[in-house]
Amino acid sequence: RNHERTLVMSRRAAELTKYAANAMLATRISFMNELANLADRLGADVEMVRQGIGSDPRIGYHFLYPGVGYGGSCFPKDVKALQHTATELGQPLALLAAVEVVNDAQKRMLVDKIVARLSGDLAGRRIALWGLAFKPNTDDMREAPARVIVEALAERGATVVAYDPVAMDEARRVFGAAPHLAYAASPLAACDGADALVVVTEWQEFRSPDFDEIRRRLRTPLVFDGRNVFTPADVRAAGLEYFGIGRGRS
C-alpha cells in the first residue's frame, strides 16, 4: 500500500537483492571496524565518530557498531556466495574480498590487545570471557568471533573461563572436552582470579555490571570490551584498566 513492503522483480534480481543486502551490511561493519582501529591509533573515540556520521541521513545509524567482527549463518555465507558467483562469471568483487579480510583480522583484535598489554606472555593466564554466541538472544555459534578468540588464547597458553546466558551447551558441543576452556555459573564467577575480563557478546545483562565487584574478583584489573558495551569512564572509576574497540588509548 505504501510501495515499501512488497517489490515485484525477476527471480535473478530477487536472489541478487538478498545477497547484496547482507553484503552491504557486512561491508558497513568491516568499514567501522577499520575506522575503529584507526581511531585507537589517533586517540579518538569511535563512538563519537559513529554518532557524527550516523547523523547524516544518507548514512544512518544501522550497523555502524564496531566490535570483534560479524559471524552467524547469514553474513559470512552470503558474502562468500556472492564472491563465488561473481568470480565464476569473471567479475570478482574486490571490495567484498577486503570485507572478509578485515572481518577475519578483527576477530583476533582483542587477543592482540591482550597480548600487548600482558607483554606477550599468556602462559598460565586465566581469562574471563563474557559471551559465546555470535550475537545476543541466540545460542548460535556459527562463525562466532568467540570461537576464534578462545582458540587464539589457548594457543598462547591461556585458560578461558566463559559465561553465556544461553550458548554454553552449544559451546560444549562446538569445543568438546577442551582442556583450555571452562564454564562459569555466572558472569561474576567467571571473573574469580582472572587476569582479564573480555566481553565478546553484547548481552543485555552484561551492560550494567558491578564494576567494583569485578575489580575485587579479578586478579589483574583489566577489561577488554569487544562490543563497546561499557562507558570507559565508569570502568576506570572503579579502578579498572579499560580497552575497547576504537575508544582511544586506555
Active site residues: 74
Count of H-run helices and E-run strands, the chain? 10, 6
DSSP string, 137-160: S----TT-HHHHHHHHHHHTT-EE
- How many other β-carbons are positioned within 10 Å of the β-carbon of residue 138? 16
Partners of 35 in the beta sheet? none
User: Which conformational region is residue 241 in: left (phi greater than 0), alpha (psi within -120 to 50 degrees), or beta?
Assistant: beta
Cα gap 98→183, rounded to integer Å: 35
